[in-house]
Amino acid sequence: MPRLGGFSLENRKYRSTFAEQFPLILQRTARHVFRDKMIFGVRLVQTLVFAVIFNLIFWKIVDRDQNAQMQDRVGVLFLFTSNLVMYNATSSLTLFIEDRPRFEREYRSGLYGLPAFFFSKIGVELPAYIIMPTLLMATTYWVMGLNPGAGRFFICCLISVLLSLSGMAIGLATASLCRDLSVALIVVPTVIMPMLIFCGLFVNFGGMPVWIRWIKWLSLVKYGFVAFVKNELEDVPIGCGANVVVAECIPVPGETVIKRLSMEDQGSVWLNIGVLAAWALVLVMLTYFGLRRMMRVGHEGAKVGKM
């Protein structure tokens, strides 16, 4: 008679602890990921393709005229933000849903518990969500002529990694709440699009109706975008480009652009980074409890079907 319900106290056969399960599941998951080199290769190629496209469009922003610089700096930062969130959400979603049937089967057979699977999966996938956004920044930041400060570059990399992890967390949370891939692929853009609308680029924060303005605080994209913009423009004068003599140029303070976007009261760079990290953590926790609920519902459904 098949065993159902995974690691319930009355049902499980192997009473191994998390400390015993985790290294084994981590090793197996890592072996599976490293064996399938195509996924990593596709991610790498896609990152480099995006880098080439961004570099061709935004080559040496600092040499452009003043108005173009202000628009293009904000524009490329928004593209970074939207790309990192949307791409990583869809990729983590599809990969996680592919692995879920095997997990459900083995969990209900009592081979291991949810914590061992969940943390091994996160631990193995995490490096890719750190390496790829860092590579994107390293291959585009200096080519575009963004803020030349080394500290600003590393902060930009940190924001990129957090946006990548946030996108991953959105995908995982959706996969844990939606059983069907087709439904999940509809839910993800439905969740992300309002976040993009309320990030501060398409609709100025100061011009939003008061009754709907509160939605911006739920947009994790907004925190990443504001952190990007403030990191790039605070305490930085915007010059007049390569075609204007320096003596004739009247630089525009970066704070002017921030004020035009009504971002001056949206918190500091580090505050937005902290909130973005908190959002990613909350979504990862939601994924865990979503999977736990899914396993419980599946177990109860199996018991009812058996009766």
| Joined tokens for residue 303 | 């018991």
DSSP labels, 184-226: HHHHHHHHHHHHHHTTSSSS-GGGS-HHHHGGGGG-HHHHHHH
CA distances from 94 to 74, 90, 181 (A): 31, 6, 7
Domain ranges of the chain: 21-296
pLDDT at 231: 95
> CB count, 10 Å around CB of 63?
13
Q: What sign does the dihedral 272-211-192-173 (CA atoms) show?
A: positive
Q: What type of residue is 208?
A: M
Distance CA 163, CA 45 (A): 20
| Adjacent-strand bridge partners of 252 | 238
User: Using CB atoms within 10 A of its CB, is residue 75 exposed (0-12), middle (13-18) or buried (19+)?
Assistant: middle
pLDDT at 82: 93
pLDDT at 62: 87
pLDDT at 205: 84
Distance CA 144, CA 156 (A): 13
What is the mean pLDDT of each successive set of 10 residues along the chain, which is 307 residues long? 47 66 85 76 90 93 88 93 92 85 82 86 88 94 91 95 94 87 90 91 84 88 95 89 80 90 91 94 90 71 47
| Joined tokens for residue 58 | 């935004």
| Adjacent-strand bridge partners of 237 | 253
Residue with tokens 């921030």: 258
| Joined tokens for residue 38 | 């195509």
Distance CA 54, CA 41 (A): 20
> CB count, 10 Å around CB of 210?
6
